[in-house]
Amino acid sequence: MQPDASRPSELIYGLDDRPQPLPALLAALQHVLASFVGIITPPLVIGSALGLSTHLPYLISMALMVSGVGTFIQARRPWGIGAGMICLQGTSFAFLGAVLSAGFLVKQRGGSPEDILAMIFGVCFFGALVQIVLSRFIGRLRRVITPLVTGIVITLIGISLIKVGITDLGGGFNAADFGAPGNLGLGLLVLLTIILLNRSNTPWVRLSAIIIGLALGSLAAWFSGKLVPQPLPDLPLISLPLPFRYGFSFDWSAFIPVALIYLISTLETVGDLTANCMLARQPISGPSYISRLKGGVLGDGVSCMIAATFSAFPNTTFAQNNGVIQLTGVASRFVGLYIGLILFCLGLFPLIGALLQQIPKPVLGGATLVMFGSVAAAGVRILAQAPLDRRSMLIIATSFGVGLGIAAQPNLLHLLPKVVQNLFDSAITSGGLTALLMSLLLPESKGAANDANPIPENDTLKAH
């Protein structure tokens, strides 16, 4: 399947275009702002749950630094490692359950915080090999990782992220003033600003839509008293990365759940890369596409291995940055190099990150809500390009039913073993695995074409 060449591209900068430094920096900053909270939140959650508060500043710095290195590799694609696109690498939420289980295992044995981190990074280091090995077989796996499966996964990713965006818009998780009119007003102001600016035909206006929205929202928050600048914490001027700072440990019972999550993360990455290819007007079938998938999944695995080496939790390709590409119209892989350098500097100089953390949640929620919605829309677009016969509709219906059902009722699995809970406790993993298994188990009918609804062929959609 090729992008439709007859359709005028909405991209300001294509995949191999080289923007001037200023527009490239502007586009890169919007990607960083869209992902910053997502990168630092998993270390905060893991650190607070496992009692690692004294190590948190270093863990956050390493998360940002490694995200920068991984993003740079994905964009630069050295030795075939990476997709050669804007694939922002960020700390993965999917690993939270498995990582916490490994940490609590050591804690119950009376281990110190350093022992906990040695175990976590040890199992994550070897777990990354799962993704590296799988990347070599992506071409053969395309029989099961079809556009139907990837479309379902991308849609579920977007829908799952929308919950995060709307929670931030209301004030943040467990906020005392959640849903207050002031919070909703700030979020809607940012949301409307981004939408209006994005409809402009002026490239500079569209390029800066997210930054202007966040700046306007922060200014309004300051005037309304929602943004009260806090004194900066006592942080070192520079955080230097040290390999295996906390040692290295391994345990099979901690490793197996982590390895399984790496398998699920690979499926998620394939979905994100497919959406990225569509937005960048690149093929989503054929040798070029398979080569990008192989390089992208390999880049994820190498990024995770680097993360474990330098005391950062597992990385993945962030879906929300596909939304930024769609909103800004900038798909240039050279912008990915700028993103990588900015994230590395944020990790190297932790005080910069501390400043960005002061952006109010409702302001961030207003920006991320439309970006996460764009991710879900990209998934729907892929599904619309697949022949929707009875088999496909049954797979879509069951996958959405299982994934969204478990997301709506997370206590459904609380009596099952912890490994099962860790694997299926999110819409992405449960719905994605359901789609994968049903694609394998339900044979394709020879008369499937007769069952499918006819798909109109026009300038935006081609039947195949």
144-167: pLDDT as tens digits? 777 788 788 778 877 877 877 788
Element (H, E) at 268: helix 252-279
Question: What's the one-letter identity of residue 333?
Answer: R
pLDDT-above-90 percentage for the chain: 18
Residue 443 has pLDDT above 70, yes or no: yes
At residue 376, the pLDDT reads: 80
Of 96, 125, 421, 435, the C-alpha closest to 270 is 435
Under the banding of pLDDT at 50, 70 and 90, the label for residue 182 is confident
Only one residue has tokens 């919070």, namely: 183
CB 164 within 8 A of CB 372: yes
At residue 9, the pLDDT reads: 52
Sign of CA dihedral 5, 10, 12, 18: negative
Residue 458 has pLDDT above 50, yes or no: no
Only one residue has tokens 């430094």, namely: 21
Q: What is the mean pLDDT of the chain?
A: 80
At residue 152, the pLDDT reads: 85
Per-residue pLDDT, averaged over 411-427, amounts to 75
Question: What's the one-letter identity of residue 190?
Answer: V
CA separation (Å) from 415 to 411, 418, 421?
8, 9, 9
At residue 459, the pLDDT reads: 35
Query: Bigger pLDDT: 17 or 379?
Result: 17
Element (H, E) at 315: strand 315-317
CA separation (Å) from 21 to 203, 209, 338?
15, 18, 9
CA-CA distance, 296 to 302, in Å (whole number)?
Answer: 10
CA-CA distance, 394 to 268, in Å (whole number)?
Answer: 21
Task: Determine phi and psi for 316, rounding to 5 degrees.
Answer: -155, 165
Query: What distance lies between CA 263 and its chain's CA centroid?
Result: 15
CA-CA distance, 14 to 330, in Å (whole number)?
Answer: 7
Per-residue pLDDT, averaged over 433-447, amounts to 80
pLDDT-above-70 percentage for the chain: 88
CA separation (Å) from 139 to 158, 386, 429?
25, 19, 21
Per-residue pLDDT, averaged over 381-401, amounts to 86
Only one residue has tokens 């943040």, namely: 172
At residue 48, the pLDDT reads: 65
Model pLDDT for residues 195-245, shown as the tens digit of each residue:
888 787 776 677 677 778 888 988 998 888 887 777 766 777 788 888 998
Under the banding of pLDDT at 50, 70 and 90, the label for residue 132 is very high
Under the banding of pLDDT at 50, 70 and 90, the label for residue 65 is very high
